[in-house]
């Protein structure tokens, strides 16, 4: 018996030493008590895009409270990125988030290997070599666009059945900033969502060639409404299109589908629903990773390609908000949920699929046949669907 | 464990320590309501004893103290647990369920004794587990003593933890036993049952440990802004400072008014002084950029930028602004912001904050600034110089050459034309070509002076604000707005999101022009205001009878006309007018009687002198036959062809000849309302009937009678309510009508009635009003643009084109009866503030409200940002708390207070509803979360109830188990006693070695095969049978050895003695109560089924079942136990003998069961013999011989007995046959 006691005591003392050491080590390397987090915005919180992004900052404040110091630089121009980055680095930031895009960021990241640089993606990162501390991320916005397209489609279907419009008048208007793959992917997913409900629906896209111009965006929306569009959506930064819809509502039937920020505040009569990219999951996970001395990509969940991460409904990176119960068509929620369920189950190949041919606006010889389908964000967090479905989408410029 | 090798022991100990720490980390990570850090301790203590268990327990706690220092203190608990489990093992507690409960309870009590003092000293009574702390919070909030709170909090955790830990161990033990005892059926049953029970118990406890998560349509016609209702806000009605420099509207719909006294926020209801913007003490100018930022130019604090009502940037002289006094701000399409100061013009750019890029010294004291869509910015400096800028640089400038006229202000038209207003009344229009000015037009603005502001609204109308009023230019040209007294220093204007116009005056305050269904005819023309009594249309003009003469305006209501009539009737009080089919105008004067005018200028006068009712004419109307009926204070006259046909006076039946109203009915009768004597019915010039209060009228003062547009009924407006004269002649009071002081009713159509009253105009549905049920109504009053009072006893006029002209105290108002409920685009809504227990709390930026757990009073301030004259119906309800909407008119929407809201998630709905309050038109939702202490959450309460009930069940069960345990001890004693007795009996007879045990086994097998016991008592009865069988020969104790062990045949006497063992046995066991029916087996096992057995000769079913079964088993064992050297022939003999006894000696059922057992070889004769043979071979020679001898002896005796019995049986059978 003495042998057993002896062995037990010795083993326990050894285990105690080891475990004590491990716990102490974990504590030393583990949760840091204080972090400094930087945010560099390409605009400020007056714009829906930056406002939406800043909700992640709010979530960070809420979760960590005094444990994080948050430094914010607003309205930072792409080409003027260096100064604020250096400011934040010198201020002791452990991690810096960028909601805009600048080529300078990966370069500066090399100079500050101890700081994690997390930038919303603005290009296909496939085969792009970046420093280990440089990360790109983006929510798979096309999923939200597709689902909001379903909501718009349900409304159009109701309007057709109520005799408000005919099937031929099922025209969607889209106020778009620039003809980039991100914008094209978004509005294509949107019209495909609409057409999943109303197969005769078509879309008119009006480019403003600027991210933020209330006057231009409102004019573009008014033009689209005048041209017969019954639903307006946008991929620009101001409330102009929503205001245009609200003002036009007394003259006819037109509804608005938002992106990134609820427009029910300014368009309570016409706003249907909004989809938004939730930046919170990534920002929170990345900060937690830094806090616990882990790789960001080992903590964050989503489609991970090196240091490039994207995710959709399944990981809470995209959500539908502010459904206007007074306006939406009956059954909209069920129709949306069934699509969302598919996204959550990991099936997204149904979106960019159908009897369509897309043409690359920059290279007409580059076409895509959607009968074979196209999977967005398959290898990159930046949307790569850069084809215009000319059969159903008409591009127009703002009439001066 | 003693046999374990050293490495095995080490591995086991490591496993146990890891189990402890792993469990601990798991529980901490998932915030489980238990510690989960003793599984290893319990396992080790069971396997290796209390000392090892204690060491492992201590190790886990000490190691975790690296993370939490208090862990070391709690190690005493772990040590105790190890010791308890170790001791429990040594005392074989785990052999019984009660033992498991006892061990868990002891561990729990020990943990409590150790932990509670530590909690109290080190953690202010908190347990360190959020679930336990929840209980501590809950109880301490109820003012329970902290010691008790701590004790109960700790108990909840320890109970779950210790029970689970020991249960984990117990299940392992049972599982191990299950493996070891798999061969023993009975034990298997017991162990399996216990294992299942334990698993069920554990899973139910685990369930407990999975707590729920605590958790306007632009009219095609040009708008006449003179029709807009004007409201001036100044020091006497909300804007305390009485002056306004600038006005702006942010995207949320809030209006911001800049004054020298600071910044005001206006939501349509209240001007709130903003005193929390440190950098904003006074305001010169305001600007809202495209993104919605509010730029505030102050007089001496520079520039402040506000986003969502928070100052995000301040820029002043110290940061590069040329002056702290900012005069104008704009944003160029190229991204530059231009800030005009009292010094130079500053160019700013948004880049990591606001950065100054260029200063334009030449632009000194810019007063007005504007930007076009092509990066141009134009500004006018105080010296009258116009600058054109682009890219932050001046590209051109211009100054008027005249000394008398300077540029004052500028703006760009929607087409890019630069419009520049001057210090006189000109607007210079320049096109900007190649960055140079090209004058294309000069617009002269009549009747204004010194143009201060030019402003295009969205429909392209240009508003001109001047020092002497406001005018505008639309598609129809230049118009002046009559803004009455608000005509000084109008500097800025705003077109709000609902289409209202706002003008600021640095001297007079703020003017709102709001679209209204009403039009102030006198106001828009600028006529002298008078009390109007009657209006008619005649000669393409409106003739307006007033208290002091006749006013005439043209049909467009834009011009006052004076003619012979106005002159002739000047100063006369005109009460009523009408135009007859001959286009003659009839005018009732109060003093001069009735006057008839022809269009050609002829006139006829009817008064007392000409035989009419008198000089005080009150009303005149034309009857269907063209007769003119006029009435006054002294009667009614009928006039035709300028002749008074008849006059009805007081003496003609009218009790009161003061007639206020007359109505001709379809049957030609006339209703005449009197001033105090009810309603007179006149037929053929005679008063035929008087309807008074006795007939159902509410009053005898009849102000007006109006024909029902749908039936032959008549609405009667009395001095105190509305009544209705049904076509059948009955009268009833329409008491559901909301107002009493009514004047008149105008039927818009068959469905809609306008009831004129001293409160305004009530719009009601005819059917609802006549129906007598509750009615919905809409009041058109001052808030809706009726800026005056209607005149009592007056006569309105409908022009047939949608305009109803209303005689008022201050002139004539007209109302658009089709658009009286004018369309408003939308209403923006928000929560202005949330006060928690009287303190303002910041709103979540997404609109969500999170309220602390201690909050008791929540005050929400909903805002409907409505600047129109409409008063929408507003509804609100707190989903999750309220059961229904609270619906109020906007003017009654006050702060909403919720007190003592339970913790949980709510949604506050704020909505605009239709006028009936039934349908939501617009809605905004705000999430509201009242944080709860853990104990306020449903999941927590549910969990704690479960824990409490489990705790009660546990201890009740434990008490029961304790009693069961005592009984078991007794039962065991009984078993042991029985076994001892049986062994004693068997020991007396060398031939019957273990006979009782075998008989017991056979009996149980037979009973099982018979399946004679069922239900929950089956096992117990089988057990009793076994015991009874074991003791069936107990009576042999009393048989003398000489008989019992006699070698040779027993004589009759001896045989009788031998047979007496059954009675003796019964006597021995008569007081033995431990086993039921034990007596049956002992006393009756020699009874025969045919009744020929002993002692009582019972027959068939009379023989107790136990005895019948034991009888078969006993006989079989008696025959087989001594036939050790027999062969198969002998086997056949035994079986034959047994079968022969079917129905005679043996119960057929019992025997059949027995035979089946033989057939199934459950009772294997060959095996039995082989076993017996082996036993005998093992015995020594002498014993063998003795045994052989006795066996042979017995055989003979038995054979003889059997033969004898057979003979008896056959004799009886034969007898029976005979």
pLDDT of B531-583, one tens digit each? 999 999 999 999 999 999 999 999 988 889 999 999 999 999 999 999 999 99
pLDDT reported for residue B1202 = 60
Q: Cα dihedral sign for A30, A31, A35, A38?
A: positive
Is residue B1020 classed as helix, strand or coil in its secondary structure? helix
* Category of B198 on φ-ψ map: left (φ > 0), alpha (ψ -120 to 50) or beta: alpha
Nearest CA in chain B to A45: B307
Q: At residue B399, what are phi and psi to the nearest 5 degrees?
A: -140, 140
Instruction: Among B127-131, B301-305, B831-835, B866-870, name the most confident range.
Output: B301-305
What is the Cα B206 distance to its own chain's centre? 31
pLDDT reported for residue A115 = 94
pLDDT reported for residue A127 = 83
Q: From the candidates B8, B45, B63, which should be mutated to test the interface with A, based on the most A CB atoms within 10 A?
A: B63
A347 to chain B, any CB pair closer than 8 A? The answer is no
Q: At residue B1115, what are phi and psi to the nearest 5 degrees?
A: -60, -45
pLDDT greater than 50 at residue B218? no
In CATH, the number for domain B6-208 is 1.10.1760
Structure tokens at B952: 């009660």
What residues of chain A lie within 8 A of the CB of B253, using their CB? Answer: 266
Distance CA B48, CA B54 (A): 10
Which of B44, B350, B922 shows the shortest C-beta gap to A326?
A: B922
What residues of chain B lie within 8 A of the CB of A247, using their CB? Answer: 216, 458, 825
How far apart are the CA of B433 and the nearest CA of chain A, in angstroms? 17
pLDDT reported for residue B658 = 85
Select the more confidently predicted residue: B653 or B42. Answer: B42
Which of A144-153, B337-346, B438-447, B483-492 has the lowest average pLDDT?
B483-492
pLDDT reported for residue B220 = 44
pLDDT-based confidence at residue B180 (cuts at 50, 70, 90): confident
Q: pLDDT digits over B985-1017, tens only?
A: 777 765 666 788 888 889 999 998 888 887 777
pLDDT greater than 80 at residue B1171? no
Which of A3, A75, A238 shows the shortest C-beta gap to B352?
A: A75
Instruction: Among B107-111, B189-193, B942-946, name the most confident range.
Output: B107-111
Q: pLDDT digits over A73-116, tens only?
A: 998 988 889 999 999 999 999 999 999 888 899 999 999 999 99
Which of A26, A44, A269 shows the shortest C-beta gap to B826?
A: A269
Which of B74-83, B113-122, B1079-1088, B1166-1175 has the lowest average pLDDT?
B1166-1175
pLDDT reported for residue B520 = 86
User: What's the whole-number mean pLDDT along residues B868-880?
Assistant: 88
HEC sequence for B267-310: CCCCEEEECCCCCCCCEEEEEECCCCCEEEEECCCCEEEEECCE
Please indicate whether, in this complex, the C-beta atoms of B49 and A1 are within 8 angstroms of each other. Answer: yes
pLDDT reported for residue B815 = 92
Of the candidate CATH numbers 2.10.69.10, 2.130.10.10, 2.60.40.10, 1.10.3720.10, the domain formed by B238-450 belongs to 2.130.10.10
Q: From the candidates B52, B290, B931, which should be mutated to test the interface with A, based on the most A CB atoms within 10 A?
A: B290
A267 to chain B, any CB pair closer than 8 A? The answer is yes
Which of B217, B252, B350 shows the shortest C-beta gap to A75?
A: B350
Distance CA B776, CA A346 (A): 54
HEC sequence for B1041-1062: HHHHCCCCCCCHHHHHHHHCHH
Distance CA B292, CA B310 (A): 12
User: What's the whole-number mean pLDDT along residues B650-668?
Assistant: 82
Q: Is the distance from CB of B136 to CB of B147 less than 8 angstroms?
A: no
Domain B991-1160: give its CATH architecture.
Answer: Orthogonal Bundle (1.10)
User: What's the whole-number mean pLDDT along residues B87-94?
Assistant: 86
Nearest CA in chain A to B313: A74
A60 to chain B, any CB pair closer than 8 A? The answer is no
pLDDT reported for residue B188 = 43
Q: pLDDT digits over A330-344, tens only?
A: 999 999 999 999 999
Q: Which residue from B216, B217, B174, B180 is spatially nearest to B192, judged by alpha carbons?
A: B174
Distance CA B637, CA B662 (A): 12
Nearest CA in chain B to A213: B290
Q: Is the distance from CB of B620 to CB of B578 less than 8 angstroms?
A: yes
pLDDT-based confidence at residue B208 (cuts at 50, 70, 90): very low
Of the candidate CATH numbers 1.10.3720.10, 2.120.10.10, 3.90.1150.10, 2.60.40.10, the domain formed by B828-933 belongs to 2.60.40.10
Please indicate whether, in this complex, the C-beta atoms of A266 and B67 are within 8 angstroms of each other. Answer: no
Please indicate whether, in this complex, the C-beta atoms of A45 and B308 are within 8 angstroms of each other. Answer: yes
Q: pTM score, two decimals?
A: 0.68
pLDDT greater than 70 at residue B184? no
Dump the DSSP string for A91-113.
TT-SEEEESS--THHHHHHHH-T
pLDDT-based confidence at residue B1188 (cuts at 50, 70, 90): low
Q: What is the mean pLDDT of chain A?
A: 91
Q: Residue B973 to residues A140, B987, B1070, B1076: CA-CA distances in angstroms?
A: 76, 21, 18, 15
pLDDT reported for residue B993 = 62
What residues of chain B lie within 8 A of the CB of A324, using their CB? Answer: 923
pLDDT reported for residue B1198 = 62
Which of A256-260, B596-600, B726-730, B930-934 has the lowest average pLDDT?
B930-934
pLDDT greater than 70 at residue B1194? no
Please indicate whether, in this complex, the C-beta atoms of A265 and B828 are within 8 angstroms of each other. Answer: yes
Dump the DSSP string for B823-843.
-----EEEEEEEEETTEEEPP
pLDDT reported for residue B483 = 82
Domain positions in chain B are: 6-208, 238-450, 828-933, 991-1160
What residues of chain A lie within 8 A of the CB of B4, using their CB? Answer: 4
Please indicate whether, in this complex, the C-beta atoms of B825 and A326 are within 8 angstroms of each other. Answer: no
A80 to chain B, any CB pair closer than 8 A? The answer is yes
User: What's the whole-number mean pLDDT along residues B1037-1058?
Assistant: 80
Residue found by looking up tokens 């607007």 in the block: B427
How far apart are the CA of A33 and the nearest CA of chain B, in angstroms? 14
Select the more confidently predicted residue: B1119 or B1142. Answer: B1142
Is residue B450 classed as helix, strand or coil in its secondary structure? coil
- Is residue A127 exposed (0-12), middle (13-18) or buried (19+ Cβ within 10 Å)? exposed
pLDDT reported for residue A28 = 56
Q: Residue B532 to residues B144, B529, B548, B788, B789: CA-CA distances in angstroms?
A: 77, 9, 9, 12, 11
Q: pLDDT digits over A158-207, tens only?
A: 999 999 999 999 999 999 999 999 999 999 999 999 999 999 999 999 99
How far apart are the CA of B993 and the nearest CA of chain A, in angstroms? 43
What residues of chain A lie within 8 A of the CB of B48, using their CB? Answer: 4, 8
Residue found by looking up tokens 């464990």 in the block: B1
Distance CA A134, CA B556 (A): 73
pLDDT greater than 50 at residue B501? yes
What is the Cα A8 distance to its own chain's centre? 57
pLDDT reported for residue B652 = 74
Which of B4, B17, B350 shows the shortest C-beta gap to A15?
A: B17
pLDDT-based confidence at residue B353 (cuts at 50, 70, 90): confident
Distance CA B464, CA B254 (A): 24
How far apart are the CA of A391 and the nearest CA of chain B, in angstroms? 34
Number of residue pairs across A and B with CB atoms under 8 Å?
164
Q: Residue A307 to residues A81, A297, A304, A381, B1179: CA-CA distances in angstroms?
A: 21, 6, 7, 10, 87
Nearest CA in chain A to B216: A250
Nearest CA in chain B to A72: B352
How far apart are the CA of B843 and the nearest CA of chain A, in angstroms? 12
Q: pLDDT digits over B17-71, tens only?
A: 899 889 988 888 888 888 888 899 999 988 888 888 899 989 988 888 877 777 8
Pairing of strands A231-235, A171-176: parallel
Number of Cβ atoms within 10 Å of the Cβ of B1102: 14
CB within 8 A of B366, min separation 6: which ones? B327, B328, B340, B341, B345, B379, B380, B381, B382, B387
Q: Which residue from B902, B913, B846 is spatially nearest to B875, judged by alpha carbons?
A: B913
pLDDT reported for residue A289 = 92
Please indicate whether, in this complex, the C-beta atoms of B292 and A46 are within 8 angstroms of each other. Answer: yes
How far apart are the CA of B279 and the nearest CA of chain A, in angstroms? 20
Please indicate whether, in this complex, the C-beta atoms of A15 and B67 are within 8 angstroms of each other. Answer: no
pLDDT reported for residue B1124 = 45
The proportion of chain B whose per-residue pLDDT surpasses 90, expressed as a percent, equals 34
A16 to chain B, any CB pair closer than 8 A? The answer is yes
Please indicate whether, in this complex, the C-beta atoms of B923 and A265 are within 8 angstroms of each other. Answer: no
User: What's the whole-number mean pLDDT along residues B134-141?
Assistant: 84
Q: pLDDT digits over B233-278, tens only?
A: 988 888 888 899 999 999 889 999 999 999 999 998 889 999 989 8
Which of A81-95, A261-275, B248-262, B1039-1053 has the lowest average pLDDT?
B1039-1053
HEC sequence for B83-144: HHHHHHHHCCHHHCHHHHHHHHHHHHHHHHHHHHHHHHHHCCCCCCCHHHHHHHHHHHHCCC
pLDDT reported for residue B215 = 33
Domains of chain A: 35-139+279-311 (3.40.50.2300), 141-278+315-397 (3.40.50.2300)
Residue found by looking up tokens 């061969």 in the block: B183
A84 to chain B, any CB pair closer than 8 A? The answer is yes
pLDDT greater than 50 at residue B173? yes
Please indicate whether, in this complex, the C-beta atoms of A83 and B63 are within 8 angstroms of each other. Answer: no
pLDDT greater than 80 at residue B1049? no
pLDDT-based confidence at residue B214 (cuts at 50, 70, 90): very low
């Amino acid at each position: 018996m003495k042998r057993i006691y002896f062995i037990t005591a010795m083993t326990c003392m050894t285990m105690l030493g080891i475990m004590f050491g491990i716990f102490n080590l974990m504590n030393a390397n583990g949760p840091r008590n204080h972090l400094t987090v930087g945010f560099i915005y390409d605009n400020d919180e007056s714009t829906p895009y930056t406002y939406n992004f800043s909700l992640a900052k709010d979530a960070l404040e809420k979760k960590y409270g005094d444990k994080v110091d948050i430094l914010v630089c607003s309205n930072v121009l792409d080409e003027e990125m260096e100064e604020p980055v250096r400011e934040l680095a010198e201020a002791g930031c452990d991690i810096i988030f960028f909601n805009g895009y600048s080529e300078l960021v990966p370069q500066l990241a090399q100079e500050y290997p101890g700081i994690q640089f997390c930038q919303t993606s603005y290009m296909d990162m496939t085969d792009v070599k970046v420093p280990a501390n440089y990360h790109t991320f983006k929510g798979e916005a096309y999923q939200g666009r597709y689902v909001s397209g379903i909501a718009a489609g349900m409304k159009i279907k109701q309007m057709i059945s109520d005799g408000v419009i005919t099937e031929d008048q099922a025209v969607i208007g889209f106020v778009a900033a620039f003809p980039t793959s991100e914008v094209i992917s978004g509005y294509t997913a949107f019209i495909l969502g609409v057409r999943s409900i109303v197969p005769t629906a078509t879309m008119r896209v009006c480019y403003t060639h600027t991210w933020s111009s209330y006057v231009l965006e409102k004019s573009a929306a008014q033009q689209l409404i005048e041209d017969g569009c019954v639903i307006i959506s946008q991929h620009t930064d101001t409330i102009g299109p929503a205001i245009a819809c609200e003002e036009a509502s007394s003259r006819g039937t037109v509804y608005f589908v938002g992106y990134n920020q609820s427009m029910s505040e300014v368009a309570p009569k016409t706003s249907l629903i909004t989809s938004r990219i939730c930046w919170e999951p990534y920002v929170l996970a990345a900060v937690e990773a830094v806090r616990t001395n882990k790789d960001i990509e080992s903590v964050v969940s989503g489609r991970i390609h090196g240091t490039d991460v994207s995710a959709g409904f399944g990981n809470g990176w995209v959500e539908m908000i502010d459904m206007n119960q007074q306006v939406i068509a009956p059954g909209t929620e069920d129709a949306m949920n069934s699509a969302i369920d598919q996204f959550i189950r990991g099936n997204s190949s149904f979106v960019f699929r159908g009897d369509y041919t897309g043409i690359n606006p920059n290279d007409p010889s580059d076409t895509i046949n959607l009968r074979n389908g196209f999977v967005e964000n398959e290898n990159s967090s930046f949307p790569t669907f850069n084809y215009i479905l000319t059969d159903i989408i008409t591009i127009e410029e703002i009439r001066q | 464990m003693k046999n374990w090798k050293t490495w095995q022991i080490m591995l086991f100990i490591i496993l146990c320590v890891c189990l402890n720490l792993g469990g601990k980390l798991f529980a901490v990570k998932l915030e489980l309501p238990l510690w989960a850090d003793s599984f290893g301790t319990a396992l080790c203590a069971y396997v290796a004893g209390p000392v090892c268990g204690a060491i492992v327990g201590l190790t886990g706690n000490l190691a975790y103290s690296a993370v939490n220092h208090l862990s070391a203190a709690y190690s005493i608990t772990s040590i105790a647990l190890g010791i308890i489990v170790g001791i429990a093992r040594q005392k074989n507690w785990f052999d019984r369920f009660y033992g498991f409960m006892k061990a868990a309870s002891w561990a729990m009590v020990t943990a409590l004794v150790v932990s509670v003092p530590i909690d109290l000293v080190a953690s202010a009574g908190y347990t360190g587990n959020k679930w336990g702390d929840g209980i501590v919070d809950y109880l301490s909030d109820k003012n329970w003593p902290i010691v008790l709170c701590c004790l109960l909090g700790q108990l909840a955790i320890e109970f779950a933890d210790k029970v689970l830990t020991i249960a984990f161990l117990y299940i392992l033990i049972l599982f191990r036993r299950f493996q070891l005892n798999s061969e023993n059926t009975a034990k298997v049953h017991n162990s399996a049952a216990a294992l299942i029970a334990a698993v069920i118990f554990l899973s139910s406890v685990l369930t407990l440990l999975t707590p729920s998560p605590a958790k306007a349509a632009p009219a095609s016609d040009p708008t006449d802004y003179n029709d807009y209702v004007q409201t001036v806000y100044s020091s006497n009605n909300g804007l305390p400072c009485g002056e306004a420099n600038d006005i702006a509207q942010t995207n949320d719909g809030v209006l911001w008014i800049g004054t020298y006294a600071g910044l005001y926020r206006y939501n349509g209801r209240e001007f709130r002084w903003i005193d929390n913007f440190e950098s904003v003490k006074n305001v010169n100018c305001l600007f809202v950029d495209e993104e919605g930022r509010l730029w505030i130019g102050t007089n001496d604090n520079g520039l402040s930028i506000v986003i969502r009502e928070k100052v995000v940037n301040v820029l002043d002289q110290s940061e590069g602004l040329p002056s702290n006094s900012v005069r104008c701000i704009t944003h160029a399409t190229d991204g530059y912001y231009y800030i005009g100061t009292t010094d130079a013009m500053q160019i700013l750019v948004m880049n990591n904050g606001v950065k100054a890029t260029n200063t334009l010294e030449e632009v000194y004291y810019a007063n007005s600034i504007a930007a076009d869509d092509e990066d141009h910015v134009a500004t006018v400096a105080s010296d009258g110089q116009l600058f054109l800028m682009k890219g932050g640089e001046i590209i051109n400038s211009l100054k008027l050459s005249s000394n008398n006229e300077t540029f004052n202000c500028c703006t760009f038209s929607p087409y890019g034309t630069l419009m520049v207003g001057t210090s006189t009344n000109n607007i210079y229009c320049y096109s900007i070509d190649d960055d140079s000015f090209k004058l294309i037009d000069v617009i002269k603005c009549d009747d204004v002076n010194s143009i201060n502001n030019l402003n295009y609204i969205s429909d392209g109308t240009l508003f001109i604000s001047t020092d002497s009023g406001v005018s505008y230019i639309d598609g129809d040209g230049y118009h002046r707005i009559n803004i009455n007294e608000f005509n000084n220093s109008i500097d800025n204007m705003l077109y709000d999101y609902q289409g209202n116009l706002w003008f600021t005056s640095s001297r007079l305050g703020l003017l709102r022009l709001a679209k209204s269904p009403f039009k102030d005819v006198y106001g828009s023309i600028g006529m002298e205001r008078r009390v109007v009594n009657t209006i008619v249309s005649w000669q393409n003009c409106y003739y307006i009878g007033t208290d002091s003469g006749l006013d005439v305006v043209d049909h467009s209501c834009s011009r006052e006309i004076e003619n012979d009539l106005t002159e002739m009737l000047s100063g006369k009080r005109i009460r009523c007018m009408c135009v007859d089919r001959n286009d003659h105008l009839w005018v009732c004067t109060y003093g001069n009687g009735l006057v008839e005018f022809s269009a050609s200028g002829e006139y006829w006068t009817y008064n007392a002198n000409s035989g009419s009712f008198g000089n005080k004419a009150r009303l005149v109307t034309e009857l269907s036959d063209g007769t003119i009926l006029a009435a006054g204070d002294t009667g009614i006259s009928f006039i035709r062809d300028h002749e008074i046909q008849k006059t009805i006076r007081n003496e003609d039946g009218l009790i009161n000849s003061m007639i206020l109203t007359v109505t001709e009915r379809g049957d030609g009768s006339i209703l005449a309302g009197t001033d105090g004597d009810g309603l007179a019915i006149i037929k053929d010039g005679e008063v035929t009937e008087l309807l008074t209060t006795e007939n159902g009228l509410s009053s005898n003062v009849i102000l007006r009678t109006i024909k029902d547009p749908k039936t032959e009924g008549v609405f009667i407006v009395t001095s105190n309510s509305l009544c209705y004269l049904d076509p059948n002649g009955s009268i009833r009071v329409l008491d559901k009508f909301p107002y009493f002081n009514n004047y008149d009713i105008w039927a818009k159509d068959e469905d809609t009635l306008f009831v004129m009253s001293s409160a305004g105009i009530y719009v009601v549905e005819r059917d609802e009003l006549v129906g007598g049920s509750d009615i919905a109504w809409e009041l058109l009053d001052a808030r809706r643009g009726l800026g005056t009072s209607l005149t009592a006893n007056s006569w309105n006029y409908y022009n047939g084109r949608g305009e109803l002209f209303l005689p008022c105290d201050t002139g004539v108002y007209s109302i658009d009866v089709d658009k009286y409920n004018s369309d408003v685009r939308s209403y923006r809504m928000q929560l202005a503030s949330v006060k928690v227990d009287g303190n303002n709390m910041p709103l979540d930026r997404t609109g969500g409200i999170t309220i602390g757990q201690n909050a008791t009073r929540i005050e929400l301030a909903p805002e409907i940002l409505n600047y129109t004259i409409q008063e929408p119906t507003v509804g609100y309800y707190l989903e999750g708390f309220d059961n229904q909407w609270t619906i109020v008119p906007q003017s009654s929407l006050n702060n909403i207070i919720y007190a003592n809201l339970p913790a949980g998630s709510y949604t506050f709905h704020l909505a605009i509803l239709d006028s009936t309050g039934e349908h939501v038109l617009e809605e905004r939702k705000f999430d509201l979360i009242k944080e709860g202490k853990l104990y306020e959450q449903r999941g927590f309460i549910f969990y704690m109830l479960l824990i409490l009930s489990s705790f009660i069940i546990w201890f009740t069960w434990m008490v029961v188990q304790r009693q069961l345990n005592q009984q078991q001890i007794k039962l065991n004693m009984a078993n042991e006693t029985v076994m001892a007795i049986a062994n004693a009996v068997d020991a007396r007879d060398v031939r019957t070695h273990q006979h009782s045990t075998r008989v017991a086994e056979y009996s149980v097998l037979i009973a099982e095969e018979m399946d004679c016991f069922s239900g929950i008592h089956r096992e117990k009865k089988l057990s009793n049978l076994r015991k009874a069988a074991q003791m069936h020969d107990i009576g042999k104790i009393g048989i003398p050895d000489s008989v019992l062990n006699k070698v040779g045949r027993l004589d009759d006497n001896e045989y009788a003695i031998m047979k007496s063992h059954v009675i003796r046995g019964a006597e021995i066991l008569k007081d033995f109560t431990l086993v039921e029916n034990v007596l049956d087996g002992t006393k009756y096992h020699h009874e025969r089924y045919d009744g020929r057995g002993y002692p009582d000769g019972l027959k068939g079913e009379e023989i107790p079942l136990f005895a019948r079964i034991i009888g078969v088993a006993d006989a079989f064992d008696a025959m087989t136990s001594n036939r050790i050297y027999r062969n198969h022939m002998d086997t056949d003999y035994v079986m034959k003998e047994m079968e022969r006894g079917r129905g005679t000696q043996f119960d057929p059922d019992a025997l059949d069961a027995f035979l089946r057992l033989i057939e199934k070889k459950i009772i294997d004769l060959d095996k039995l013999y082989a076993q017996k043979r082996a036993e005998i071979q093992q015995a020594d020679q002498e014993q063998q011989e003795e045994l052989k001898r006795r066996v042979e002896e017995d055989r003979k005796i038995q054979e003889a007995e059997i033969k004898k019995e057979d003979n008896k049986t056959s004799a009886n059978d034969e007898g029976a046959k005979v």
